[in-house]
Copies of this chain bind each other. A is one copy, B any other.
């Protein structure tokens, strides 16, 4: 992807122009997130990172779905693994068009079920099914078309990450302390990197993010690799760190944002936003794209995961079996706690998102 042109020979895309790929840490290189390789989907195993850089290799759609459900990957991993999983059906496929389309639809439905709140995954799976349908209608090479569509989608996404990260970086001041939550993926991390390139020093506070410790395992090591100062904290510390005057901005990714400005993101995002508001600290949430099917709060389905996972820390029991637990994986921050939504057009008001055709 690096060095290729989005809009034609001689034109450099935003990602190319701003050196985006050179700034990304290991775990955010698309090839290390999920790729199709010789009849297998290779998924970077985030459960073992940062202690190991290893991969899970899947030969079937069921294996990919199971890997996603098993938290092998998260963030942008589920959609990238899912669209590559479709190629397990199109690669060397002898099936007739109707059978293939039916198989692709079954695969799409199985994959969507792995993460009901992950709208990106659903949208991009549907996009690939559209490509397949069009190409089959003209007897074209479905596998090559899906591969090209994945590549083009990635190019567009990293350009969008770049535009959003540049908009956020412009608002970051030299010396800022920045709270984040979970793992903010390329958008959030690139905004810190661009701020650094602009000569601004930042210190990031990364909550560990129970129960899976994405903050400890992904965010802190990635920032460390990028030479950005980071302090790991537990999830019960953000307000205290704010009360010390050490946080000037709260910046996170978002799994989805409704058209009326509700930010859905990893559990904990909401209570940190409330604490930020109480300390007059602005909260900025990165959009990943507009989803017209999510208009308002009641359109959101919060994934309730297996509560047994709450009673484990890195596989060790924290309490006795008899105890009941709850595991809502995401929460909802209403627009009154959101200072700005970071879009490809700049920082938008959460109350004005409907007017933007793209985010």
B-contacting residues of A (Cβ < 8 Å)?
A: 50-51, 181, 205, 207-211, 213, 216-217, 220-221, 224, 229-241, 243, 266-268, 270-272, 274-275, 277-278, 310-311, 313-320, 322-326, 328, 331-332
Contact = CB atoms under 8 A, between A and B. Distances in A.
B275 A243 contact: no
Contact of A320 (B50, B274, B313): B50
Contact of A232 (B231, B234, B319): B319
Contacts of A325: 231-233
B221 A235 contact: no
A233 B207 CA distance: 16
A271 B232 contact: no
B313 A213 contact: yes
B270 A324 contact: no
A331 B318 CA distance: 23
9 contacts: A209-B236, A216-B318, A216-B323, A229-B324, A230-B323, A230-B324, A237-B267, A239-B274, A239-B331
Contacts of A322: 224
Complex A-B, nearest 4 residue pairs according to Cβ-Cβ distance, in ascending order: A236-B268, A239-B271, A216-B318, A210-B234
Residue of A181, A211, A241, A318 with most partner-chain B CB within 10 A: A318
Contacts of A313: 213, 313-314, 316
Most buried by B among A217, A221, A236, A320: A236
B217 A319 contact: yes
A278 B239 CA distance: 14
